[in-house]
Structure 1
Amino acid sequence: MHRKALKGLNLLTTLRLDNNLLTDLYEESFEDLYNLQILNLRNNRISVIFNKTFHNLNNLRILDLGGNKISQLKPLAFVGLNNLTNLYLDRNHLKEIDKSNFEQLQATLQVLDLQQNLIRYLSNRTKSPFVQLTKLQDLKLGGQMPFGMTLLPHGFFHGLSSLKSLYLTDNQIFSFQTDAFDDLTNLEFLTLDSSGIGMTQLHPGTFKNLRKLQKLNAENMGIESLSADVFGNLTELQVLQLTHNAIKTVDEAVLKNLSNLRYLDLRACPLSCSCPNSWLQNWTKMNHNVQIVYLYNLTCPDLPGSMFYNFDLKVCYLDLELYLFVSTATTILLLSALPLLYVKLYWNLKYSYYVFRSWFGERWRQLHDEEEQCKYDAFISYNSADEQWVLDELLPNLEGRETSLRLCLHHRDFEPGRDIVDNIVNAVYGSRKTLCVVSQYYLRSEWCSLEIQLASYRLFHELKDVLILVFLEPIPKSQLSAYHRMRKVMLNKTYLQWPGPDCSDPTQAQELFWNQLRRALGSSNTCTHREEEKAEGNREKNSANQQKAHSQINFN
């Protein structure tokens, strides 16, 4: 076209030069068309828009440059277009756009069409080319060639606070950043049709600022599931298109949040005809405010021959979740309580275990048989550190007298090769009495604790007078507070204190001690055994007053 071909057409308001072979536009080409409002240059062969090409078109509102071969926009290409509202640059060869390209249009431009160009970004740090287009309401970026945009940089839509419609169709974007749409607070229409091939999940918060969105097209994006975290803020959404996705289940909270929804398209989605979707079947029948597209044509891929709207829900009436919750909660409580019971009732549990073992081995009957089953007068429970006292003092005074008693000792009377627990149980239950020789070493012994536990069980639970405590050394009450069984025995039964060397008359005190001990051992219980008690009451009565300060004896 000649540079002066349109000279003098100063009253022209609409000019169509589309579908021609125009290749170049000059500064003089449109200088006389200052009343022009619509200029259509679509489907020509224009490759470059030079500076000041439209500088006199002050009244131009619509400029259509689509379908050309434009690969470059000079910095002042759109200078003078002070009233331009619609700019169409679709199906050109633009590889990149910059904020300087639209600087002259920032006050008026409302529609910008950049579909099917070559725009592509490889970095997340690209600055927004739309930062000055604060009046823009409609932006089309779909179908970038040949592979799509593939990436939306951070803050790519920064500045588009007035945008109402955004088209991103056929761009194969790998993943949407959670801040991708944060600046589009007034967006009402968004189409992502086929823009995320291969995507399986929209990240929570992707649409968090789109509170005015009314229509969302997310067809053919490979989405496998929908969550309330993604759609939670779309309270104004009316149309939701999800055709050709991989959605099997829909979260109930999603549709509850979409209170204004009127149109839902789930065609070609492999919805599962199972219990997780039972609520959705009921929802589609009961909710009369939402149109479900081709509801009665939705099939069940997992149940061939069944339809989604009427698949069998009988199996879902069992509230398996409730049963699982109750059983799991009970198991957790039991597992939590068992350690506490173990700590609090350690010896009781241990004793019960040992008694059960004896009972299971048919020893329980032997332990509780007739009275003549008692083999010993007393079982001596002591720590090995106190063995010398037992051998030097206890045995000569109890087994070496005329009224000798038959005693059971670990090292002498336990059956070799037999389990030690079985030996202890038989010794306690096979003796009329259990004599505990208590010292600091005794308190620290686990086996000694077991022996006094077994004897105290017979004392308190079977109500048999079988337990005698002998203290070889003074032990503070505060130290005994941890041994509640022993303190309970001291409050209810006989305990004797061995006279120490600091006693004024050790010989007489010890004689009194042995007399009292023989008397305690000679008292009867359920076992019938030979008991020979000498008449020593008078002598003990006379000696008691003399040795009261040296021997601590308590009968309760």
Structure 2
Amino acid sequence: MIKGLTVSCDVSWPLVTYHQWPPGSACPPSYCWYGVAGGISTTTTTRTCGNCKENGNYVLCRHSAGGDVYEVEVLMETELLLQCKPSTTNLNLTFMEGCSFPSVEQIKVYGCPLPNASFGELFFQMGVYPENVTTFGFYDRNERDRPLEGWHLDGLEGLLTLEFVNNDFLGLPVDLFTPTPSLRRIKVVSDSFSSLPESIFFNLPDLETSNFERNRLETLPPGLFTNLTALTNVTLSHNYLSSVDPDFFSDKVNLESLDLSHNQIASLERNIFENLGALRNLSMQGNLLESLPSGVFSKLLSLEALDLSFNVLRQLPEKAFDRLIDVKNIDLSNNSLDELPSEAFSKCESLARLSLRHNDLEKLQAEMFPRQTSLTFLDLGHNNISFTVNSAKILQEGPVSYEGNFPLNSQIKLQELLMNDNKIDFIPSAINNIFVDLKKVDLSGNEITDFSYHSLVFYQDSVILNLKNNNISYVDFHEICDLLNEKEVKLYLEGNNLFCDCRMYLFTRIVQGQPIMKMKIMDIEVEDIEKVTCRNHDGIQQLLSQVDSTQLYCVIPDVQCIRNCSCLWRAHDYMVIIDCSFLGLQELPDLSILSKPHAKISVTLDMKNNSLYTLKGLKDPQFANLVNLTIPYNKISFINESDIPTTLKVLDVRGNELTNIPEPVLEVLNATDMILSFSGNPWDCDCDFINFLNFLHTPSRKVTDFDEITCARGNVYLHDLTEYSLCPYFMQPMVIVTLVAIGAFLLFFAVFGTVSFYKYKQGIKVWLYAHRMCLWAITEDEMDADKKFDAFISYSHKDEEFVNTVLVPGLENGDPKYRICLHYRDWVPGEYIQNQILQSVEASRRTIVVLSSNFIESAWGQLESKAAHSQALQDGTSRIIVIVYGEIPPESELDDKLQLYISTKTYVKWGDAKFWEKLCYFMPHPPKKLNN
């Protein structure tokens, strides 16, 4: 069951503009589609009518006959779409005979020619019941010669909505709508007719909406809408109307929306809207209105939106909007208004949005605006408004604060305030103190010069403040306590005349994301930071995001500075920089003008190229804040320890007449972390200079020019001198003392070494043997020369994995290589075990006992260890090497002999970091092995 039909013959293939085709149904380049929309049953996959095929919930019908190419698509049983290829010249849909779409209610035709028969007959050919069609649209016809006839809508008596768009009709027949008495909505847009028959709507009593925009209408017959009591919406925009007869709306008491925008209307009759008491929206935008008759809107008591923008209005009548108590939106932008009536909008109690943009207004008065504070949006951009106080008023009443008389103070509900491109020279405090709902402020393109942190403190959590293209020279953030919150301000500053000095220090750090204090301040985001520049003292423009904030300074006025000197203030480190160079001064200047007891400042004093003889007085209170003293190229010949303030961090005495630095002064300097400069003085490089030389050689000492310091005689660099070269006679007794000290040290070392050797003899021998050093001290006796094996290993069979995979390979394959006796390899099968144990012990230079809990439980292991001990007693030498494998067993489980080895610690523990070194040491090492 299908209810809608659309037919289209495409010239520019605009199908996608009007309809979203289903997946897989894109229009092929060789033909167009007709489509019917509707919920087709998915149980049937093919229709037998015409060339139609059913696919899911839509039906496709394709046909091509010569140059006439069509395709019909039926969707969701309610909508039929017909589209023609540009070559189509005739609408002949007989190929769809036998089809039936009785539920189609909507039909849209794209890019097709006008049919030779009525649209009702055309729909019937497609299987649609014309009387069921309620919505019909005919768009973008592909031929422009055939006129629209009165019979074209025959058979569509149930039609409710009709759209003719972009068909270039030259006229509409007077009887066009006679077959469609139920029409409620008509849209005839983008055609070429200049007039309408006066009686064209006479038989449409239910007509609600009439849209004839973008045609070429020049006049409207007075009785065009007579008796259309249901008419609520009329759109006649973008035509060529120059006037409207007052009788045109004489009985339109139910009209709610009237759009006459973008015509050529130059004037209005006073009573033109007299009978439109129900009108809610009126647009006169883009006409040629120069003035309004008094009371023209007085009967529009229900009006909610009034658009008078883009006219040439120069003035408004008094009380023009007094009766518009329900109006919410008034747009007077882009006119030529230079003044408003004193109470222009005062009685518009519901006014929420007011635009006065692009006019010639110069001043505002508080009485102009609604008394009920309903205004939330106000656009005053592109006018000549200034907030300066009248000079005559100042003479009469004395100083006047314009802030207190700000004309918008009563509009406390404002959320958006646009005042860009005016002549405003300050930021009204009302935006911060009165407008509690304010979220956006545009003051760009004005003449504002001062901007401080106060202007960033808003009630709302997130606010946009646009200050682009003003004359702001700096942003004053000297006190920022009010910014200690978690609010957000998005700021625009491009196009200002910012000057990079100390006053920009805090703001620069904030926008660069650098910390300024421990507590969190509000989030200030300069949205156009990559376009904001500022000018330094040399006139060079630099991006604010790249400015080095640590170098921002201000010039201190002469009246606040030392006489004849220049003073700078650097904000980063609270530094006052005083330049008194090249003045011929013979004494230090008086800094009392800068000394304040609780001032958090530091002072840098530059005194180069003067005639100072002394530093006396530097500890006076006036120098309490002095941290950097640059005093090169003067006549100073002596420095006293009492002249050096403990607060000093930098001392530069280059190019003076100093010959030495006294020891007391060096002691003072050693107690500080001062940065020093000494070059260019006539230093006496003699015996008295040694202390100063040692001072300069101290690695931690910060002497910036050590490599440039030279002696007065010979021009010798100090970094090349030693104490001996300075004072050879002084060094002779020092040599004697040094030799005596060295001899005493060697004697002490010899005694200490001998005692240590006997105490740690075994460990020392292990280390010497491991490193093949002094091997003559650890050779074996000749009694072992005839023994067959280097070692016999005694172990429990439960530990044979450790013995066979670790111990034996390490001894037999190591360096040196040892011959090992193993019972499973070297014993003769069948002989008595006791005899073979004794023979193995006697034939081996060592017996290695792998002592573990398993060994203690082994009877043969006990016998082997006793045999080895007996052999050791017989030979009078150490024969047993105990390897502790695992934890050392309790003494109660060991026999007396093993307890002796454990208690004297003559054993090697598996897992020791030096296990192999110690084991090799305990193993035999005759001379032939030691010499390898």
User: Given the two structures, how large is their TM-score scaled by the length of structure 2?
Assistant: 0.30
Task: Please identify the structure whose Cα radius of gyration is greater.
Answer: 2
Bigger helix fraction: 1
TM-score (norm 1): 0.50
Q: Which has the higher strand share?
A: 2
